[in-house]
Structure 1
Amino acid sequence: MPKSDDNSILFFARFELQFVPFFLMTLKFTDISKRYGNRWALRDVSFEAEPGRVVGVYGLNGAGKTSLLRIAAGVEEVNSGTIERTSAYFLPTFPEAPLLKRLRGVRADTAELAATQSAMIDEALKSDAKLLCLDDPFRFFDAGERRQAMEKLRIAARDSGKLVLFATNSFEQILGFADDLLVLVGGYLGQYGPASEVYNSPLTAPVASVTGRCNIFEARRLTSSKTDLPEFHTIEGGHRLFTGPLDRTRLGPINKNIPLAIRPEYISLSFGASFPEDNLLKAIVTEVSFLGPMTLVRLDAGGLELEALVLRLIGLNVGEECMVGLPPNRITVLS
């Protein structure tokens, strides 16, 4: 088996490790840590993934995505922790033949890279491996090629019981494709669960900030932890906001600042006619950006800066005043 250094991947590999029946767990990490020299790539990562699922491994550059996939496939050893896995197939970001051409100074165009990667995905699907570890597999695909490859992988996971583990730093690729989302933040497991749950209920500010647009602001709790609808005072703007019923363990001390979050698509804009329970704030429109199917509106609510995503923006221009509604059940208390 050819070797690669810690910073590059020069091969793809298929490992026959041990047989795990379809009805059993395909992959289990327990306190996995990996270090390259003095740099920790992964720290104390634990999760379990079941057969027949597509798991998106997401994080910013350097978060530890490639290391996690290599460890899952058996390509990389760990410094500590234990792993249980089934037969695995590992596919790196750069196919071997086009990469070797690039190393020799021969230009490999995107179409060639995409074709090679597509062929390797087909080979992975035809293999006996129950675990497919794909590192940024759609990087060189156009939108149509990406949709086709995603559909093939989704069908394979559903019909043949394969577990598809793929890494990407594109959150848009996760949505609509992955059943589950594993978010890595600086080598640590930030959050793991159904993709919709991670998106709608992020646990921490780092997870909320990397999983799509999100308004995150500091606030201090005003009411007792026994109150059904907790009330907070925002540090910026000095607004009083209610949230929906919360797990009391997430409220934090009453005398300390904690981060609150709300996705921009949950914020409503109006000229005054709205539901009073929606935490209505006066705000000034500071910027309007057309994003195709949605319009991004940036607002200043007395020092509290917010973003709202709306389908259509009619009769509201930069510099004008409006009412901003923050539904209590859409506000998340972060750790």
Structure 2
Amino acid sequence: MPDVKVSNLNKIFGDNVVLDNVDFTIKDGEFFTLLGPSGCGKSTTLNCIAGLEQPSSGAISVGDTTFVDTDKKLFVPPEGRNLGMVFQSYALWPHKTIADNLAMPLQIRKVDKTEQRRLIDEALDKVGLLHLRERYPHQMSGGQQQRVALARALVYSPSVLLLDEPLSNLDAKLREQARAWLKRLQEDLGITTVYVTHDQDEALALSDRIAVMSNGYMIQVGTPTEIYETPATAEVAAFVGRCNFLEATVTDVTSTGAALKLEANGQQMTVDTPEKVTVGDHVTVAVRPEKLAVLPADDTAMPGTNVISAEVLTTSYLGSRFEYDLKVGDHVVQVVNDRGGLAGAVNLTVDPDACLIFPQADVLSEDAQALLTVAP
């Protein structure tokens, strides 16, 4: 399967810049996800690759074939690209059987009927629905319809598979099962795949690499581990998974990072970081909820950890874990812990190397701003 290369892609609707110099390469056989909130430009990027949108400027190629080059006034229409696409709505013909739905793209390509049947049966077998070839869409569950839409996209052996939030119509349990099945299928086929979603769990579970988008920009591209553990900005940290944010001032620079004074309650903490900071800098400290531990106020913390005074606001039991909302000064901090029954005054502990710091000038997303809300 070929690489996909997108170069300096721009898309403007009137005065609205939807894509701003988007640039990336998807490797052969890679599962590459475009992740971001609604309106960030991820679906527009996918539609430009598919040929459903014409870029204002830029170039797109798959392998040695160029589909778009605005400098050369080159634009290959969707039917000339041999790309498979699954839409959010599945877009199945309700009056046609499953086999007839799969036959449509083959008929357009003038494949003879004997070959059509072979290809249809082969595609349905890949998604485990060969025994349902004569059913109609309304006779199938949402998960089965999603598999039919995927089989239709695969039936003519596309060079690249494009998926636009294909699991969003499924309930939570079925979505979890579907993404595991989709990942196995993609690995078995080895097909280069571009996936669009706003669901962080989907992106982390499915992807070889993720591109996080915001306001038409790509703000970070990396593996799921890189995106989650070392986000490039506070906005990435806020959008991918949950994260606590506390404002602080640098009081000292150490050999491994910095000493900070928290603005929420005036307490001191240390952070190990490669970021260059100077005394007096205002920074935002980011900590994932699972990196924090909660101890009764009279318990002794491990040497070398930061200890922050807090007060339990709420406790939620979620079966495999407890989730706490804690008051630190005038801020709310979320913690995931396996220890229940904590109430009143407690201590938060966190290792210096479990914290990230960002310049306070970083523009935070709404998700991040919500976590900076003043506590009741």
Q: TM-score, normalised by structure 2?
A: 0.72
Structure with the greater alpha carbon radius of gyration: 2
Aligned residue identity for 1:331: C
* 1:262 aligned partner: 287
Is it true that 1:56 corresponds to 2:33 in the alignment? yes
* 1:15 aligned partner: none
Aligned residue identity for 1:267: L
Name which of 13, 19, 26 aligns with 1:36.
Answer: 13
Q: Report 1:306-321 matches (<5 A).
A: 306-314=333-341, 316-317=342-343, 320-321=344-345
* 2:166 aligned partner: 137
Instruction: State the 1:97 CA deviation.
Output: 4.1
Name which of 295, 317, 332 aligns with 1:305.
Answer: 332
Is it true that 1:237 corresponds to 2:265 in the alignment? yes
Deviations 1:196-221 (A, max 9, x none): 21011111121111112100122222
* 2:58 aligned partner: 81
Which runs of no fewer than 5 residues in structure 1 stay unpaired? 1-21, 101-107
Q: 1:99 & 1:81 partners in 2: Cα distance?
A: 38
Q: Report 1:278-297 matches (<5 A).
A: 278-297=305-324
* 1:326 aligned partner: 350
What secondary structure, in the 3-state scheme, does the structure 2 residue paired with 1:47 have? strand
What secondary structure, in the 3-state scheme, does the structure 2 residue paired with 1:283 have? strand
Is it true that 1:93 corresponds to 2:120 in the alignment? no
- Contact 1:287–1:299 under 8 Å retained in 2: yes
Q: For the structure 1 residues 145 and 47, does the alpha-carbon distance in structure 2 shift closer, same or farther, using more than 3 Å as the test?
A: same
Aligned residue identity for 1:231: A
Which runs of no fewer than 5 residues in structure 2 stay unpaired? 64-81, 96-136, 360-376
Q: 1:111 & 1:312 partners in 2: Cα distance?
A: 43
Between stretches 234-243 and 139-148, larger displacement belongs to: 139-148
Q: 1:182 & 1:163 partners in 2: Cα distance?
A: 15
* 2:193 aligned partner: 164
- Contact 1:130–1:161 under 8 Å retained in 2: no
* 1:103 aligned partner: none
Q: 1:128 & 1:256 partners in 2: Cα distance?
A: 55
Indicate the RMSD between aligned Cα atoms, in angstroms.
Answer: 2.6
Q: For the structure 1 residues 277 and 162, does the alpha-carbon distance in structure 2 shift closer, same or farther, using more than 3 Å as the test?
A: same
* 1:17 aligned partner: none
* 2:24 aligned partner: 47
**Number of residue pairs the alignment of both structures matches:** 298
Percent identity, aligned pairs only, is 24
What secondary structure, in the 3-state scheme, does the structure 2 residue paired with 1:243 have? strand
Name which of 240, 245, 249 aligns with 1:216.
Answer: 245
Between stretches 263-272 and 77-86, larger displacement belongs to: 77-86
Q: 2:154 & 2:177 partners in 1: Cα distance?
A: 14
Q: 1:273 & 1:230 partners in 2: Cα distance?
A: 24
Aligned residue identity for 1:91: V
Deviations 1:296-321 (A, max 9, x none): 1111223343111112313x12xx11
* 2:68 aligned partner: none
Aligned residue identity for 2:320: P
Instruction: State the 1:152 CA deviation.
Output: 4.3
Q: 1:97 & 1:61 partners in 2: Cα distance?
A: 24
Q: Name the structure where helix makes up a greater proportion of residues.
A: 2
Q: 1:34 & 1:229 partners in 2: Cα distance?
A: 41
Q: TM-score, normalised by structure 1?
A: 0.80
* 1:198 aligned partner: 227
What secondary structure, in the 3-state scheme, does the structure 2 residue paired with 1:273 have? coil
- Contact 1:281–1:323 under 8 Å retained in 2: yes
